[in-house]
Chains A and B, each alone.
Chain A
């Protein structure tokens, strides 16, 4: 039997621009391969066209034998023609496709994040939010099996899920493992990347901290900030420090290579209603690459047995940051990071998720 992972962003084997759903697709494909004859990534043509237009006129894509693009018009014919297979859907936006697929095939619904909370934070109107809630309800009711990213999200949807037997915890976990040991001499910290997140308290503290500690070399990874953005004044201050390198964004391979040179990664945003449920991809990737992390109290605290770093819902202070950076530099979090690597390995080799579907 074959398995199709329905993608809404490109997996790392296809593109160098990888977002959380792309990483999730790669993780699911890896977990499914033990149970199926063949695992494919499947993308609809409309989605493919939209994404490839964003990627500088359709360049930057690799051909991959496992990556299939199906024209929306031929979707029904495709679903009727292929032998019975398993389809995994990560996004609620695929609900019409999900409904068509479940006529002849096994369908799995994968919950990566509470989408309606993201919509609310992004200021979408109430109809959109309600539509997302409704689609989530339909998909979780009708799916053969439901995967959920972490216990915090399971708790959030407790009412939906309490009638379901086949709800399985499957935390987001990148496939990449720590690279060969290399001198870790850099500190990485982040500016906000979403419209509804604000990292200015962190950037303000980092201005003071890095100004006083020229011995620390740091990379700031942040989208370009315009003058009206409250973070821009701190980014300007940081740009004048000789020990701070500011980068807008990196390709997936360069990002992972940079993480392998860092001993710590810091990402702290003002707490909002969506933040406690967030499983920050930045932080998950950092831990997978062997970096200690400093972040908000998010769903990640339920991930690893011993958190490899510090969490705080209070705005970071100079003392907190100094203590964390010095502890990370001296290797204080190394046992917790080793433990997290073993935990990640356990997630990726979990055979219970797709058992009985292949």
Chain B
């Protein structure tokens, strides 16, 4: 996967065959850059120029591409959706049907939203999408920010300590480990510290969540990075669960995180689950689930 080799050293320099629809007007077809799939509508001018492919040619577009800009998600086949998981992706939302399809793919587990993904409203007005789905607001950005995201190869968001430089596949593994937990039998209200904002989709199935800040509701699950445990101020009323995504290592052990959390909570804090999904030289990438009360 491209994500596992950020320098792209294993990618083959091949010229993809021309697609009858996507070839028009696309001069730059170098492999290793970002490619556009489908029609991104009004956002096309602001996202920068890149090779474009038709929606029925996703397999071809995926060859050697470093990232995708996808427009018209409603037309993408289910089997093509899996490919989008493996590269940084900007999803351009052209209408509510696109948004409904994104929700459906996330809900059915084909697609994951990770720190390597962003959403852009084609007409520049993201509010029409985010009232009905406030969880998506964490991933929405302006076309200008999306251009910076593309220039940085999808690695420009805030992340907890130790997560910078991890490939997208690690976040997919984290989602595979965390989503089946289904911590609450109801749709939880979720809050996150700034460093965890883009990680929420990997920790909890996002379409089932409510957004504490946007909907002004008391928090059920709080995602806190280990570095912010001593700084977080909105722990009143206490959430039911606290999830700490972390790279456990010698200087930041499960015990040290538990002790710091217990110092912040007036109710009993119990480590309910410790999920490790990936080994790095420094330690193990995963998430700790603490139950409060």
Contacts and interface: CB of A to CB of B under 8 A. Distances in A.
Interface of A: 16-17, 54-56, 59-63, 217, 239-251, 253-254, 257-258, 261
Contacts of A245: 131-134, 215
A54 B182 CA distance: 12
A249 B181 CA distance: 17
Contact of A240 (B100, B182, B208, B240): B100
Contacts of A239: 100, 103, 132
Contact of A251 (B103, B186, B268, B272): B186
Contact of B240 (A16, A246, A258): A16
Interface in B255-275: 268, 272
Contacts of B181: 56
Contact of B186 (A61, A243, A246, A249): A249
A56 B208 CA distance: 15
A67 B125 CA distance: 51
Contacts of B208: 248
A239 B181 CA distance: 26
A249 B187 contact: yes
B293 interface: yes
Interface stretch (B36-44, B141-149, B216-224): B216-224
Interface residues of B, number: 33
B185 A242 contact: no
B96 A251 contact: no
Contacts of A251: 184, 186, 188-189, 220, 240
Interface of B: 96-97, 100, 103, 128-129, 131-134, 181-189, 208, 210, 215-218, 220, 237, 240-241, 268, 272, 291, 293
Given A242-B132, A245-B131, A254 B240 contact: no
A253 B96 contact: no
Contacts of A240: 96-97, 100
List of 5 A-B pairs having minimum Cβ-Cβ separation, nearest first: A249-B186, A62-B293, A242-B128, A240-B96, A254-B217
Nearest to A249: B186
A254 B189 contact: yes
A56 B217 contact: no
A217 B237 contact: no
Given A59-B272, A239-B103, A258-B215, 15 more contacts: A17-B186, A56-B181, A59-B291, A239-B100, A242-B131, A243-B132, A245-B133, A247-B210, A249-B186, A250-B217, A251-B186, A251-B189, A254-B220, A257-B216, A258-B217
Contacts of B185: 17, 54-56, 60, 249
Q: Which of B183, B187, B241, B268 has the most CB of A within 10 A?
A: B187
A254 B216 CA distance: 9
B218 A254 contact: yes
B211 to A, nearest CB: 10
A299 to B, nearest CB: 27
Contacts of B96: 240-242
B227 to A, nearest CB: 26
Chain A binding surface SS class: loop
Contacts of B218: 253-254, 257
6 contacts: A62-B293, A63-B293, A240-B97, A251-B188, A251-B220, A257-B216
A59 B189 CA distance: 17
A248 B107 CA distance: 13
B187 A250 contact: yes
B183 A59 contact: yes
A335 B188 CA distance: 34
Nearest to A217: B131
Contact of B132 (A17, A60, A246): A246
A54 B215 CA distance: 27
Contacts of A17: 185-186
B91 to A, nearest CB: 17
Contacts of B188: 251
B140 to A, nearest CB: 14
B190 to A, nearest CB: 11
B12 to A, nearest CB: 42
A16 B133 CA distance: 23
Contacts of A247: 187, 210
Contacts of A217: 131
A54 B208 CA distance: 18
Nearest to A55: B185
Nearest to B216: A261
Contacts of B131: 217, 242-243, 245
A343 B293 CA distance: 34
A54 B103 CA distance: 26
